[in-house]
Structure formats: C-alpha cells, structure tokens
Amino acid sequence: MEPLLKARNLSKIFGSGCQHCIAATGSEAETNVCPHCNSVVACNDVNFDLFPNEVLGIVGESGSGKSTLIKLTHFEWETTSGELNLHRSALPDGLGELLADTVDQYTRNLFALSQFQQRQIRNALMGIVYQNPYLGLRMNISSGGNIAERLLGAGWRHIGKMRERASELLEKTEIPISRMDEPPKNFSGGMQQRVQIAKALSNNPLLLLLDEVTTGLDLSVQARVLDLIRNIQSEFQLSMLVVSHDLGVINLLCNRTMVMKHGRVVESGLTDQILQDPQHRYSQLLVASQL
C-alpha cells in the first residue's frame, strides 16, 4: 500500500535566517532559536508518510513544532523548504493539472501550487480541528451555519441539502439537533470541539488534522471527544495527523508516532515501542514524566 501523503524535508524558519540556523538549533543544541540571527527554527527536515486510514501521532513538549507541521500541511503557513505530495488517486475531479509533470503516482509538490489551488485541495480533501475552537468556528453564527459555510467552500449550493448534511453531522457528533441554530458561543468547551469536528468532517475529508483537540477539557469531556474520534476513525475512510502532548491520547488513537523536540523529529516508531522502549533521551524523559 502506498502512502496517501508524503512529506519530505519540511522546514519552517521564522526570521531572516542565516547559514548557522540549522547547525545551531535542534535537540542537541537544546534550542530552536538560532544564537547568531535569532531566527526561530520551528521545524526542520521533517519527513513522514501518512497511509490511507492511518492515524499518525505527533507528540512533544510545548514549542517543539507540532502545530507548525499541522499549519504547513494545511497551507496556513508558507514552508521555508520541503515537499508535500499527495497520492493521485486522492485527487478530486478537476484537479488533474496538478499531476501534469509527474512520473509516479504522486502530485507535484503541493507547496509549490498557487494559493487558489491549495485552497481547492484543502476544501476538497482536508478537515482541521484546533485546540482553540475560536480558530475553527465562527462563534456568532449558528452551528448549522458554520457547517453550511464550509460546505459552500467545498462547492455545495443547495440550501436544503446543506441543512440536511449539517444535522446529520451534528447528530453524529452528539450535538442535539434542537440546538443546531444556536451559535457555538452558547456551548460548553466539549460541545464546541464536537461542532468543530462536525464541521471538519462536512466535506468528507481524506485527511483530518487534529491539533490538541482535548487539551484543556475536563477529563470526562475529554473522554467523550476521544471516543468520538475513535468512532470516526472506524466509520470514515480517512487518515489523521494527531498532535498532542499527552501520551495517553496518542496511545489511544495512534499506531505510529513521531516525537518532536526543538523543531526536530527525534524519534519515530510504533506507538507501543515509543512508550515501552523509547530510544531518544527526550522520548525517555517524556515517558518517564507521564502521570
């Protein structure tokens, strides 16, 4: 089986950058800030394959570059360098030109596409859920409206069908349909996350990006959101990138995991191996400091 998505040499540097940035940062240097030019190397030389129906975990401490990877993959930030290739079979109709000059089964570098094309890909194939629901939802328009807006972006036009789809998704994420016309600002944190998930699923994405979606929620609320994600995983045919600093969440959701520190992937492997036989010093620390 071939990967759905291949990421190669992803780097993101904030600042002017200099010739020392890479050598002077990373887990050995114990910083992601270049001492010569003060640029922040948010991530460097990250490689991963994401397979169909796979859930890949990204774990690491605050500032290690986890969210950066999500933002690059979601085309929210421009990469400093690197390639992202999508398996051709995943492409929706009408995006055929993206494979014009490829010889293998993959698109050319998605980072090199125009913003318009990137938006097309994002609308057709991706869904995202942020830690902060304010980033993923418009708090003042109805929950149904939030979903309809996303469907419009994905090319839907029929109001009745959009409403039907919205109620179907809200039901799936256990939001009472009676509250569909209420804005998310009226909802609890856990409900807001579930509306975000409903919205992210609305276009039937092949790739779901989850960035610390349970962080900050009460344990029982966290449990419900995690159960929902597990159900989505078994019911929908999609791949996920799951970012968390919580090894418990990673263990529950992911078969494979990457450990990040100071903008670098210091270790990647089967999740049970990372948890029971961590190789890198930092992974060992992470596992040892679990509650």
Residues that bind ligand ATP in the complex, under the rule CB under 6 A: 14, 32, 40, 42, 60, 62-68, 245
Quick one: what does residue 245 bind among ligand ATP, other proteins, Zn ion, none, with the CB cut-off 5 to 8 Å set by partner type? ligand ATP
Quick one: what does residue 67 bind among Mg ion, other proteins, Zn ion, none, with the CB cut-off 5 to 8 Å set by partner type? Mg ion
Residue found under tokens 């804005």: 183
Task: Round to whole Å and give the CA distance between 86 and 157.
Answer: 27
Q: For the CB of residue 219, give the shortest distance to other proteins in the complex, in Å.
A: 11
Strands (E), 37-86: 40-50, 55-60, 81-86
Under the binding rule (CB under 5 A), the answer on residue 32 touching Mg ion is no
Identify residues 54-113 at the interface with Mg ion (CB under 5 A). 67
Q: Residue by residue, what is the 3-state secondary structure of 191-224? A: HHHHHHHHHHHCCCCCEEEEECCCCCCCHHHHHH
Under the binding rule (CB under 5 A), the answer on residue 192 touching Mg ion is no
For residues 67 and 79, which CB has a smaller minimum distance to Mg ion in the complex?
A: 67
H or E segment and range at residue 71: helix 66-73
Given the rule CB under 8 A, which residues bind other proteins?
Answer: 1, 51, 223, 227, 230, 252, 255-256, 269-270, 272-273, 276-277, 279-281, 284-285, 288
Handedness of CA 69, 256, 202, 237 (dihedral sign): positive
For residues 39 and 67, which CB has a smaller minimum distance to Mg ion in the complex?
A: 67
Task: Round to whole Å and give the CA distance between 278 and 274.
Answer: 5
Q: For the CB of residue 249, give the shortest distance to other proteins in the complex, in Å.
A: 12
- 142 close to 183: Cβ distance less than 8 angstroms: yes
Contacts with Zn ion by CB under 5 A lie at 18, 20-21, 34, 36-37, 39
Contacts with Mg ion by CB under 5 A lie at 67
